[in-house]
Amino acid sequence: MRIGELAALVGVSTRTVRHYHRLGLLPEPERLANGYRDYRLRDGVVLARVRRLAELGLSLDEIRDVLADDRGRDLREVLAELDADLARQQDAIAARRRRLAVLLDEADLHPDSTVPPEMAAVLRELPAGGSKLAELDRALLTMVGSKAESGGMAELFGPLIEPEAVARGHRLYARLDELADADPRDPRVAELAADLADHLPEEMAVAVAASLGDGENGDWLRLVSAELSRAQAETFRRFVRVLRERAANREGRER
C-alpha cells in the first residue's frame, strides 16, 4: 500500500502520515526497490489508533506514551487525566459565560465594564462628578483592578463606597481640583494631604503605605504625579509622607 492509499484509508492527509513518522508515532515501513514505502495493514491499525487518540484530545507526547505499551495499561490513566482537564475547562467556560451574561445585562456597557466584577462594583460607586482627579483615580483603579487578584483590593474599597464616604470623596476631589493653578507652598496643600490620609480606611492606609516599597506596584505615585499640577502633585507627596509616618508610628506602638 502506498502512502496516499494508507492516508485515504484512515482519513488523514499524507502530510500527517509523514509528520507522525518524524515524531516516531508511526514506524517507518520497509521500502520497495523503487524507494517507495510499502505500508501494511498493521500500519493502518497504528495510524487509526493515533488518529482516534488525537481526536479525543490527547497530546502527541501522551499518544506516544500510550502506544509504547501494547497492552494499553497507561491508557486508562491518561484518559482519566484528560477527562479531569476537560472538566476544569468546562468549569472555566461556564464561569466565563456567567460573567458574559452579567455584562450583557448592563445597560451602560463599555470596555471598563470588563474588569473583575468586584472592582466593577467599586468603580460604579466611587465618586466622579466631572472631577479630573476623580477620573484619574478611576483610570488608575481600572488599570490595577484588571489583575486576577483584585478581589482583595475591592474589599479594601468597601468603606469608601458607603454614602457618607462618597459624599466626603466628592468634597476632597473638589478641593484637589481647586489646587490646579495654586503654588505648591499653598497652605491648603498640607491640610488637604492630612484630610486625604484621614479619608482612607485603616486597612487601606496600611496597604497603600506598604505598596510604596513594592517594586511592581509602587510606581503609582509617579504615574499620578505626571498627570497633576505642581500643587496637586505636592499634595500627594505630602499625603504619602503622612501615611508613612502613621505606619511607622503604628509599628512602634505594636513593638
- CA torsion 162-164-168-170 (nearest 10°) is 70
Q: Minimum mean pLDDT among 40-49, 91-100, 244-253: which range?
A: 244-253
Average pLDDT for 238-248: 86
Average pLDDT for 197-204: 86
Per the CB < 8 A criterion, the answer to whether 125 and 161 are in contact is yes
Q: Which residue has the higher pLDDT, 44 or 129?
A: 44
Q: Minimum mean pLDDT among 46-55, 104-113, 176-185, 198-207: which range?
A: 104-113
Q: Which residue has the higher pLDDT, 132 or 51?
A: 51
User: Residue 37, SS3?
Assistant: strand
In tens, the pLDDT along 3-57 reads 999 999 999 999 999 999 999 889 888 888 888 889 999 899 989 989 988 888 8
Q: Which three cell numbers stand for residue 95?
A: 464561569
N-to-C CA span, the chain = 84
- For residues 187 and 97, what is the distance between their CA atoms, to the nearest angstrom? 53
**What is the pLDDT at residue 212?**
66
147: DSSP letter: S
- For residues 12 and 51, what is the distance between their CA atoms, to the nearest angstrom? 8
**What is the pLDDT at residue 215?**
47
Q: Which three cell numbers stand for residue 236?
A: 500627594
For 113, 136, 176, 194, 210, the CA distances from 179, given in Å and listed in that order, are 31, 15, 5, 15, 27
- Say what the pTM is: 0.54
Q: Which residue has the higher pLDDT, 215 or 195?
A: 195
Supply the Cα-derived Rg of the chain in whole angstroms. 31
Q: Which domains does the chain have, with CATH numbers?
A: 3-69 (1.10.1660.10), 115-254 (no CATH)
Q: Which helix (H) or strand (E) holds 154?
A: helix 150-156
Q: Minimum mean pLDDT among 132-136, 151-155, 174-178: which range?
A: 151-155
Q: In 3D, which of 154, 144, 155, 197 has the Cα closest to residue 172?
A: 197
Confidence of residue 247 (pLDDT cuts 50, 70, 90): confident
Per the CB < 8 A criterion, the answer to whether 118 and 129 are in contact is no
Looking up cell 481600572, which residue turns up?
Answer: 142
Q: Supply the mean pLDDT for the chain.
A: 81
Per the CB < 8 A criterion, the answer to whether 141 and 119 are in contact is yes
The percentage of residues in the chain with a pLDDT greater than 90, rounded to a whole number, is: 25
In tens, the pLDDT along 205-225 reads 887 777 765 544 456 677 777
Average pLDDT for 125-144: 67
Q: Which residue has the higher pLDDT, 170 or 185?
A: 185
- For residues 30 and 46, what is the distance between their CA atoms, to the nearest angstrom? 15
Confidence of residue 74 (pLDDT cuts 50, 70, 90): confident
The length of the chain is 255
**What is the pLDDT at residue 80?**
87
What are the two backbone dihedrals, phi and then psi, of residue 37, each rounded to the nearest 5 degrees? Answer: -70, 140
Confidence of residue 72 (pLDDT cuts 50, 70, 90): low
Q: Is 127 exposed, middle or buried (0-12, 13-18, 19+ CB in 10 A)?
A: buried
**What is the pLDDT at residue 217?**
47
